[in-house]
Structure 1
Amino acid sequence: MTASEKPSARRRTSPLDPAVSEANEVSAVDETDRQIIRLLCANGRARNVDIAKTIGVTETTVRKRIARLLSTGAIEVVAIPSPSLAGLNLSAIIGIKTELHTLRAVCRSLAALPEVRYCGYSTGRFDLIIEAFFADQAHVLSFTTDVLGAMEGITAVETSLILEIEKFSFDW
């Protein structure tokens, strides 16, 4: 296999990401697909036979639809560890302003940081919004001053700490 034939690493994308080539297939979900997705959101380990009984279709239908949804990138079934397992007990939503010509480079740099769980382009007051997890307040301070403060292209940062989570849902 030559270097040009090596498969590229799959990067996680949003169904809204223009890089998703199957965008038409992703948007072609019907009500049965939606029911399957809702049940998987509630329990990613649900058995196909149980899903089938719940929505009134055959197990084969569920198995084939889940396979299609997975292969097109419409869904991903993943385990999401609690940040507290890693000692990350403090979460923050951080709004970031950038020099516009550095926007994409800054976003890529932020997305690569281990503290950052979510990074998205935004309209309005901030160019980027990130969600990040920290061990403690000193970690937040170090991240905002030493990491974000040193990143070329960032012109302003506003950090909002999450005090308590009332709802955390993957419902669709």
Structure 2
Amino acid sequence: MGAPTLDSLDLQIMQALQLDGRAPFSRIATVLGVSDQTVARRYRRLRNTVNVRVLGVTDENRLGRQSWLVRMHCTPDVAEQLADALAKRPDTLYVNLISGGTEVVCGMKPRSRKERDELLFDRLQRTPQIVTVTAHCLLHSFYGGPLGRLNKSNALSPGQETALRLPPPVSPDAPVTLDEADKALLAMVRRDGRATLTDLQKATGQSESAVTRRLENLRSTGVLYFDVQYDHGPLGQDVGAMLWLTVAPRALADVGRSLATHPEVHFASATTGQANIVASVHFRSPDELYTYLSEKIGALDGIQAVESALILRQVKQLSYEPTR
């Protein structure tokens, strides 16, 4: 069977959910000028055909925590096993198998320095099949998080975007502290961002009004945002790659801002290490990747070196469950 075909309404619904992952179908329907039943039916079809999922994601920076990108070069016989094991850990955000199947890259969100050190300096370093481990702290996000790839699809008109977009979160003066009910709520929406209030009540033991109030507080402080995950193929994004850019310090901010405007870029961040910007990009073909590197990246002032690697398999996206 061929890849499913998505039409303009499908893309509009997906972008609407990226803007507000818990938007009622009735609100989306009103903005798009269709019926509630049409939106609900299309959403069910998108779940079945391109694995669309809305997931709640925690912004670790708002909790006073650091996010890390870890690169592991290993022997070919252990790469997939290592990737699968990392995907099952609750402190990994995503896991990619790249570079001819001998390198695993994962995003980490350790909840404490102890957890970070235990993984980086103990478990991984003592695994004999792992040749090298390098850990890079993400310093500043240029694109990613609540700004998903679907926001660049232009499926919605500017007016429709304005009608669906939530107010921007307010940065708290100090790191947000979570209680047990908050943690239970975040764990539930991490598995299903559109979980019903009834399900959230059961998971937290809170009343409907308390759940609603907690959700609003977590979202308004930026601790919680929602991401739409999907199979990239039907949207012409079969070829994924990671880029490590070495940029002159004077040009770091300008290059980062430029990357954020590129439709091909799903994620870009300043990072520690010799390569001081990391980016995730998607294309229809390797030839498009070549054109992007030679024309768009090549045109940016201040870039001193570029390392690129194709993503062979995305083992885990922003969830606890490995993807196959």
Provide the C-alpha distance between the structure 2 equivalents of 1:38 and 1:58, rounded to a whole number of angstroms: 17
Q: What residue is the counterpart of 1:21 in the other structure? A: 171
Provide the C-alpha distance between the structure 1 equivalents of 2:201 and 2:286, rounded to a whole number of angstroms: 47
Is 1:140 the counterpart of 2:289? The answer is yes
Provide the C-alpha distance between the structure 2 equivalents of 1:15 and 1:165, rounded to a whole number of angstroms: 22
Which of the numbers 41, 53, 60 marks the counterpart of 2:190? 41
Amino acid at match of 2:180: E
Is 1:124 the counterpart of 2:262? The answer is no
Q: What residue is the counterpart of 2:207 in the other structure? A: 58
Provide the C-alpha distance between the structure 1 equivalents of 2:211 and 2:279, rounded to a whole number of angstroms: 35
| TM superposition shift of 1:103 | 0.4
CA contact (8 A) 1:94 1:131 kept: yes
| TM superposition shift of 1:139 | 0.7
Q: What residue is the counterpart of 2:222 in the other structure? A: 73
Larger deviation: 50-59 or 142-151? 50-59
Amino acid at match of 2:233: S
| TM superposition shift of 1:15 | 5.5
Larger deviation: 15-24 or 133-142? 15-24
Detail structure 1 runs of 4+ shifted over 4 Å in the superposition. 17-20
Residue by residue over 1:117-168, the C-alpha shift from the partner in whole angstroms, topping out at 9 and shown as x without a partner, is 1101111121100011111100110111111111111111000111112222
CA contact (8 A) 1:15 1:23 kept: no
What SS does the aligned partner of 1:164 have?
A: strand
Higher relative contact order (CA 8 A, sep 6+): 2
What SS does the aligned partner of 2:224 have?
A: coil
Residue by residue over 1:71-130, the C-alpha shift from the partner in whole angstroms, topping out at 9 and shown as x without a partner, is 121112343444323111111110001111000110010111111011011111211000
Provide the C-alpha distance between the structure 2 equivalents of 1:38 and 1:77, rounded to a whole number of angstroms: 13
Higher strand share: 2
CA contact (8 A) 1:89 1:134 kept: yes
Amino acid at match of 2:172: E
CA contact (8 A) 1:92 1:160 kept: yes
User: TM-score scaled to structure 2, two decimals?
Assistant: 0.45
Is 1:165 the counterpart of 2:314? The answer is yes
| TM superposition shift of 1:35 | 1.3
Provide the C-alpha distance between the structure 1 equivalents of 2:224 and 2:288, rounded to a whole number of angstroms: 33
What is the CA RMSD across the aligned residues, in angstroms?
Answer: 2.1
Which of the numbers 179, 183, 195 marks the counterpart of 1:30? 179
What SS does the aligned partner of 1:22 have?
A: coil
Query: How many pairs are equivalent?
Result: 157
Structure 2: which 5+ runs fail to align? 1-58, 62-139, 142-168
Structure 1: which 5+ runs fail to align? 1-13
Amino acid at match of 1:163: L
